[in-house]
């Protein structure tokens, strides 16, 4: 009979931190329904909506963003850290935590500091280049896990990126007809899926909408999620054009993935993990800010042939008309890319992280 344990997840802030944490939470519940799961978060993170919606307990602490410049935030940082660590220790004590799983982001630093010499830590790094928070946590962590090789964390075991079960269990072929009917596409359509994350991407929106006539001339249907705060400047459809379906947001990504033959998207760690897990080839357009991690995130899929990599500034109407439309009309090449994308996806990452955390927690309880 399994020993009930208490797990604290530290992965608030962005969807890239919250979603893998929730995928691991679901995997933990599947392994042992008696597990107590608590998520740490801040009042300004997406976790305030995502965590309760998934049915998990959320405890809020003071956010600790790590400033990259000398400014007032840097001066106030020690005070905020002490406060957040104190609040986190209170949470760890109240739930009698047996293990902390950290995913990086604002809440991970106080979680790692509060857990030191009290509760064992498991770190999971999603990006190809580890962030400051996880570099700190990895120093004293019991186990260090990573989505891809060479993340910059010593002792890291590559397990893939935790992705929610509704995606990892997706059979695109079986759901294809239903998905295409849902969005209004013909069964035999060539479908391009375009999205730029939860808020959309202005540069991707401009390039793809500018190429609408070129895509239509090639017989390509488009499903374009432009972001809730953005709009598309689309030409009036001509008679006989395949559908160009523009929506602010896709709340059924499973159907979107199943309907598509190819995607144009950013290459955040979660996006790359989901797109490759379902075996969908993609044109990855790294966000042109940060330390270059989005480009690195895409390389494990692009190098074996499961996708293309194009710089943001080079994603133009001409590129889409030439390369993207050409790829969608080249069935053998698209089929080869689909197979390559499917071969590198990790469908069991959430379960593997959950199993590692449970092993660490149960060892602690036995001691």
Q: How far apart are CA 124 and CA 23, in angstroms?
A: 12
- Tell me which of 29-38, 68-77, 193-202 is least confident: 68-77
| Residue 282: per-residue pLDDT | 98
With pLDDT > 90 as the criterion, what percentage of the chain qualifies?
Answer: 74
Closest CA to 127 of 14, 278, 282, 295: 295
Looking at residues 253-281, what average pLDDT do you find?
A: 95
CA 116 to chain centre: 28
Q: What is the pLDDT of residues 329-343, one digit of tens each?
A: 999 999 999 999 989
Token duo for residue 353: 């992280």
Q: How far apart are CA 190 and CA 334, in angstroms?
A: 11
Token duo for residue 335: 């089929």
With pLDDT > 70 as the criterion, what percentage of the chain qualifies?
Answer: 96
Q: How far apart are CA 128 and CA 295, in angstroms?
A: 9
Distances (CA, A) of 5 to 37, 223, 306: 9, 44, 40
In the annotated binding site, the residues are 14-16, 127, 164, 198, 294
Assessment of whether the complete model's pTM goes beyond 0.95: no
Give the phi and the psi of residue 155 in degrees, each rounded to 5: 65, 15
Quote the DSSP letter at residue 25: H
Residue showing tokens 């893939």: 160
For residue 31, is pLDDT > 50?
yes
Ramachandran region, residue 125 (left: φ > 0; alpha: ψ -120 to 50; beta: rest): beta
Distances (CA, A) of 183 to 186, 205, 224, 319: 9, 19, 11, 26
| Residue 71: per-residue pLDDT | 52
- Tell me which of 73-82, 126-135, 141-150, 223-232 is least confident: 73-82
| Residue 101: per-residue pLDDT | 98
For residue 242, is pLDDT > 60?
yes
DSSP string, 96-122: T-SEEEE-SSTTHHHHHHHHTTTS-EE
| Residue 70: per-residue pLDDT | 45
| Residue 46: per-residue pLDDT | 83
| H or E segment and range at residue 39 | strand 36-41
Closest CA to 115 of 94, 153, 134, 89: 89
For residue 54, is pLDDT > 70?
yes
The burial of 342, by beta-carbon neighbours within 10 Å (0-12 exposed, 13-18 middle, 19 or more buried), is given as middle
In the annotated binding site for UDP-N-acetyl-alpha-D-glucosamine, the residues are 14-16, 127, 164, 198, 294
The listed range with the strongest mean pLDDT (43-47, 65-69, 84-88) is 84-88
CA angle at 87 for the pair 23 and 101, rounded to the nearest 5°: 25
Q: How far apart are CA 137 and CA 111, in angstroms?
A: 9
| Mean confidence (pLDDT) of the chain | 92
- Go through the domains of the chain in sequence order and give each one's CATH number: 6-163+347-366 (3.40.50.2000), 166-344 (3.40.50.2000)
Ramachandran region, residue 313 (left: φ > 0; alpha: ψ -120 to 50; beta: rest): alpha
Show the DSSP H helices in the chain as ranges: 15-31, 47-53, 72-94, 108-115, 132-138, 165-168, 172-183, 202-210, 212-217, 253-259, 269-277, 293-302, 317-319, 325-328, 331-344, 349-366
8 Å CB contact between 266 and 298: no
């Amino acid at each position: 009979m399994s020993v009930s344990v208490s797990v604290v997840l530290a992965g608030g802030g962005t969807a890239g931190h919250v979603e893998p944490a929730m995928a691991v939470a679901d995997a933990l519940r599947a392994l042992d329904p008696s597990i107590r799961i608590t998520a740490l978060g801040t009042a300004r993170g997406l976790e305030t909506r995502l965590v309760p919606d998934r049915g998990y307990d959320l405890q809020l602490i003071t956010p600790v963003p790590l400033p990259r410049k000398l400014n007032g935030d840097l001066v106030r940082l020690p005070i905020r850290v002490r406060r957040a660590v104190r609040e986190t220790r209170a949470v760890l004590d109240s739930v009698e935590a047996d293990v902390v799983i950290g995913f990086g982001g604002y809440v991970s630093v106080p979680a790692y500091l509060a857990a030191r010499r009290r509760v064992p830590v498991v770190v999971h790094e999603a990006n190809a280049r580890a962030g400051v928070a996880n570099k700190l946590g990895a120093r004293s962590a019991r186990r260090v896990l990573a989505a891809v090789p060479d993340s910059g964390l010593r002792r890291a075991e590559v397990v893939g990126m935790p992705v929610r079960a509704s995606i990892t269990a997706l059979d695109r072929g079986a759901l294809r007809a239903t998905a295409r009917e849902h969005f209004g596409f013909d069964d035999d359509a060539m479908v391009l899926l375009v999205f730029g994350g939860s808020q959309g991407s202005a540069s991707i929106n401009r390039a793809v909408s500018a190429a609408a006539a070129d895509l239509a001339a090639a017989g390509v249907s488009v499903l374009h999620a432009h972001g809730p705060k953005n709009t598309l400047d689309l030409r009036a459809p001509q008679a006989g054009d395949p559908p160009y379906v523009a929506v602010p947001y896709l709340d059924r990504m499973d159907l979107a993935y199943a309907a598509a033959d190819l995607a144009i998207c950013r290459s955040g760690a979660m996006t790359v993990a989901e797109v490759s897990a379902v075996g969908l080839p993609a044109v990855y357009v790294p966000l042109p800010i940060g330390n270059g991690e989005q480009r690195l995130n895409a390389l494990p899929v692009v190098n074996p042939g499961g996708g293309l990599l194009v710089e943001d500034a080079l994603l133009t109407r001409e590129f889409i008309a030439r390369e993207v439309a050409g790829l969608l009309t080249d069935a053998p090449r698209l089929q080869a890319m689909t197979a390559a994308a499917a071969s590198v996806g990790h469908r069991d990452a959430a379960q593997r992280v959950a199993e590692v955390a449970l092993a660490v927690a149960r060892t602690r309880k036995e001691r």
